Amino acid sequence: MLDIHTHVLPGLDDGARDFDESLEIIKKYINNGYDGVIATPHHYRGRYIPSKEEIIKSRDLLLNQLKKLKIDFDIYLGNEIFFEENTINELENKEVFTIAGSRYILIEFPFLGKINYAHSLIYQIQLSGFMPIIAHVERYQVTEEEFEFMEKIYNAGALFQVNLSSLKDPSSKEYKLVNKILDRDMVQFVATDTHSLNKRNPDVKDELNYLKNKMGERWYQEVVIDNPYKVINGEFVRKTEIKESLEKNKKKSFFEKIFRRN
Ligand SMILES: [Fe+2]
């Protein structure tokens, strides 16, 4: 199993502080059934802009330590890119990491769901030759009416990633939204978004079991296990059509239902 979103590399952003913490996090990954990660340090102007060289150096030092300890664990490189006006230029000039050198990028948007041109940004990114994976979509607090923006962005071609940690607290807004997005079959990736041993960490066995029960074995194999490897191999990741909500479906007439094409 491969985690596509993590801040496990030390000293680059608000993730792991030092190599000791990174090593402890990796041990936790292994205990939870992971063989590797795509390290995605923040690329967020005004907050964290580690250079590509710093990221490579941090990864190489960590891999060396793992080798010494005879711990077998893969670390691919990426970035969690905070979208701003310069992002497409930076991508074209190779100033940020795509995921493991593929066309896939992990991206977060300011105020997604609140800006009505978000879907056109998704088109622009694709026209520049990149495939956007939207990080932790459930953390954009969209209201019931604003959910249409989610659908628009999804239909514009974005792939959706949700955080496993959002399934921890059933009373949270994120829990409700992540379940809604799952019910509508709009999820292509789940990830830990690990920042430390405590905050969003790799202890996700319960959440993975929850997903297996809720979504079934086939979905689990495709989304949880296979899709991250498809990304690092530059292969196509399948998206499903948005499932209609139960309420909407109930409102449809008998004839509309029997004449539905799919
Ligand atoms: Fe993150």
**From CA 235, how far away is CA 103, in angstroms rounded?**
9
CA of 50 to the centre of ligand 1 (A): 14
**From CA 235, how far away is CA 45, in angstroms rounded?**
30
CA of 257 to the centre of ligand 1 (A): 41
Q: What are phi and psi of 189, to 5 degrees?
A: -145, 140
Q: 238: pLDDT confidence band, cut at 50, 70 and 90?
A: very high
Q: Tally Cβ neighbours within 10 Å of residue 225.
A: 12
CA of 255 to the centre of ligand 1 (A): 46
Q: 116: pLDDT confidence band, cut at 50, 70 and 90?
A: confident
Residue 183, domain extent: 2-258
111 or 137: which leads in pLDDT: 137
CA of 262 to the centre of ligand 1 (A): 37
CA atoms within 13 A on the CB side of 242: 21
Q: Where are the alpha helices (DSSP H) in 69-98?
A: 87-92
Query: What rounded mean pLDDT belongs to the chain?
Result: 92
Q: Which residue in this structure is represented by tokens 């994976």?
A: 133
pLDDT > 60? residue 146: yes
- Non-local CB neighbours of 12 within 8 Å, separated by 6+ positions: 41, 42, 48, 50, 54, 55, 58
Highest mean pLDDT range out of 136-150, 151-165, 233-247?
Answer: 151-165
CA of 110 to the centre of ligand 1 (A): 14
CA of 253 to the centre of ligand 1 (A): 43
CA of 60 to the centre of ligand 1 (A): 21
pLDDT > 80? residue 132: yes
Give residue-wise pLDDT tens across range 184-210. 999 999 999 999 999 799 999 999 999
CATH code where residue 70 lies: 3.20.20.140
pLDDT for 256 equals: 63
pLDDT for 260 equals: 58
CA of 192 to the centre of ligand 1 (A): 9
Mean predicted confidence (pLDDT) in 146-175: 94
The candidate with the shortest Cα–Cα distance to 106, out of 185, 186, 5, is: 5
148 or 134: which leads in pLDDT: 134
pLDDT for 261 equals: 52
**From CA 82, how far away is CA 43, in angstroms rounded?**
6
CA of 191 to the centre of ligand 1 (A): 9
Q: How many domains does the chain have?
A: 1
pLDDT for 262 equals: 47
Q: 117: pLDDT confidence band, cut at 50, 70 and 90?
A: confident
CA of 250 to the centre of ligand 1 (A): 38
CA of 128 to the centre of ligand 1 (A): 23
The candidate with the shortest Cα–Cα distance to 21, out of 200, 204, 195, is: 195
pLDDT > 90? residue 23: yes
Q: 36: pLDDT confidence band, cut at 50, 70 and 90?
A: very high
CA of 254 to the centre of ligand 1 (A): 45
CA of 131 to the centre of ligand 1 (A): 18
CA of 146 to the centre of ligand 1 (A): 23
Mean predicted confidence (pLDDT) in 162-181: 95
Q: What percent of the chain has pLDDT over 90?
A: 80
